[in-house]
Amino acid sequence: MNVQLEDICGKRETVLNSTLALIRQYGFHGTPMSMIAKHAGVAAGTIYHYFESKDALINALYEHESSRLAASLLVGDDEGLHYKERFFRCMLNHYHFYIGNPDTLYFLEQYSNSPYAKTQVENHEKRFEHIIRFFDYGIQQKYFKNIDAKLLMPIIKGTLVAAANFHLRQHMVFSDDDIRAVISMIWDGIKKQEKD
Amino acid sequence: MNVQLEDICGKRETVLNSTLALIRQYGFHGTPMSMIAKHAGVAAGTIYHYFESKDALINALYEHESSRLAASLLVGDDEGLHYKERFFRCMLNHYHFYIGNPDTLYFLEQYSNSPYAKTQVENHEKRFEHIIRFFDYGIQQKYFKNIDAKLLMPIIKGTLVAAANFHLRQHMVFSDDDIRAVISMIWDGIKKQEKD
DNA sequence: ATCTTCTAATTGAACGTTCATTCGGTTACA
DNA sequence: TGTAACCGAATGAACGTTCAATTAGAAGAT
């Protein structure tokens, strides 16, 4: 039971958190509403006070977690710095978000590859607008090869997710230098080869 | 119904194919056995003649499809060519496999991010042994930066999957040059910067 | 060729379980 | 005293799986 959480946040947040933790362990179909209720220390009926259905709950969870991710990306960004520095900072933020929130990583990956995701395309673009702009700027200023930002983003994300999964699943200590090496792979891949 | 398929292959293959197509459209939990049976033109009980359970069916499907993928990667490989050429060929094979088999792409991605996958780690490595060796060779010969091949593979795969998804979901004609540009991103990212 | 026999393949209705959802009643609190 | 939050047993639909019965086909005998 998540009693400590319930005291701080509302029941709605508690339910979301329990859902997140359970889905990582048991997957979408493996976690019935009754299990979520029990884990959250709440009656099954109560969940329906906050969410219309299980689908609605999962969609709300996606909104919640992907917003948290989006918010973390440009933390500490400083427009005064070199663009390459800013890019590395952004990638480190992204990576550390996954490592610090493995439940979220697994959930988001499961969600994006499920039929749920098809209902959420427009919202998604709104949530990551500032990042799209950040990349577009890099393309305009010719730091990057001339690739559609909409393609660049999933490619970068794919690489970071792969690295984070590797880190988490192998229970391996991945030094900050290792992470920088991975980010360098991304940077070297997408930068205009003459610039740096 | 998949009548034409059933005539050629056995019922086992027909069931696997129906499962693959339906899972793409409806997801794991959205496709009941009864639906698979109907789509395959087979009675529900018959499926249990070939597979112990739904889980077993899905695991068998994973084995089936990931073997197909593994087999496609080194098609037309020629050890006489430059390593860079061989690498590009391998990446193109990989990419074209996804584009030619979108059902498989979606299924594999869903599977890898589900709790099913955790039961399949060792088999997985056996199936992709030849590719691991191919990458290890590239690292030994110092074509690549010195990164664990086990990390290199998911990173590369992540990039290609992201590109293929982009291609498929946007219903966009992606020229061969576009694909080569993406593969160049990978190559430029992982190659030793002095070599080429 | 024809019949017999045996096994494997196939069927689909029936079963039992699981699970999302409902709802009548209770509590908290403003 | 009224409203929103909360409870949890009850409901009913959906689904994976079973099984007794039927068919197909192969092997062997006549």
Instruction: Residue A129: give the domain boundaries.
Output: 65-190
In a domain, B196, yes or no: no
Assess whether B36 and B62 both reside in one domain.
no
Assess whether B154 and B138 both reside in one domain.
yes
Does the CB of A51 have a partner CB in chain B at under 8 Å? no
Assess whether A47 and A71 both reside in one domain.
no
- At a CB cut-off of 8 Å and minimum separation 6, what does B183 contact? B88, B91, B92, B95
Which 3 state secondary structure label does DSSP give B191?
A: strand
Assess whether B82 and B171 both reside in one domain.
yes
Residue B21's pLDDT band (cuts 50, 70, 90) = very high
The reported pLDDT for the residue numbered A26 is 94
Assess whether A103 and A141 both reside in one domain.
yes
In this structure, is the CB of residue A44 within 7 Å of any atom belonging to strand C? yes
Whether the per-residue pLDDT at B3 is higher than 60: the answer is no
State pLDDT tens for residues B120-171: 777 788 999 999 999 999 999 999 998 888 899 999 999 999 999 999 988 7
Residues 14-33 of A with CB under 8 A from B: 25-30
Assess whether B111 and B155 both reside in one domain.
yes
In a domain, A57, yes or no: no
**DSSP state string for B75-114:** TT--TTS-HHHHHHHHHHHHHHHHHH-HHHHHHHHHHHTS
In a domain, B91, yes or no: yes
Last residue of a domain, one of B34, B51, B68: B51
Which chain A residues touch B172 with a CB distance below 8 Å?
A: none
Assess whether B164 and B83 both reside in one domain.
yes
Assess whether B152 and B128 both reside in one domain.
yes
A103 burial (CB, 10 Å; 0-12 / 13-18 / 19+) is: middle
Q: What is the CATH number of the domain that holds A3?
A: 1.10.10.60
In a domain, A40, yes or no: yes
Which of the 107-146 residues on chain B come under 7 Å of nucleic strand D at their beta carbon?
Answer: none
The Cα–Cα gap between A160 and A131 comes to 15
Which 3 state secondary structure label does DSSP give A144?
A: strand
Last residue of a domain, one of A26, A51, A76: A51
Distance A136 CA to C15 C1' (A): 60
Percent of chain A with pLDDT over 90: 78
Does the CB of B72 have a partner CB in chain A at under 8 Å? no
The structural domain count of chain A equals: 2
State pLDDT tens for residues A26-42: 999 999 999 999 999 99
Of A30, A155, A184, the CB nearest to B115: A30
Assess whether A85 and A145 both reside in one domain.
yes
The reported pLDDT for the residue numbered B66 is 96
Assess whether B40 and B71 both reside in one domain.
no
Q: What is the CATH number of the domain that holds A143?
A: 1.10.357.10
In a domain, B195, yes or no: no
- Residue with structure tokens 């694909």? B179
Separation in Å, CA of B8 to nearest CA in chain A: 31
The reported pLDDT for the residue numbered B6 is 58
Of B115, B151, B189, the CB nearest to A189: B189
In a domain, B26, yes or no: yes
In a domain, B182, yes or no: yes
In a domain, A77, yes or no: yes
Assess whether A81 and A136 both reside in one domain.
yes
CB contact under 8 A, A155 and B159: yes
- Give the number of C-alpha atoms closer than 13 A to the C-alpha of residue A68, restricted to the C-beta side: 17
CB pairs under 8 A between A and B: 93
State pLDDT tens for residues A119-129: 777 778 899 99
Rg (CA), chain B: 19
Assess whether B22 and B77 both reside in one domain.
no
Q: pLDDT averaged over chain A?
A: 92
The Cα–Cα gap between B15 and A184 comes to 45
- Angle at which helices A176-190 and B176-190 pack, to 10 degrees? 140
In this structure, is the CB of residue A32 within 7 Å of any atom belonging to strand C? yes
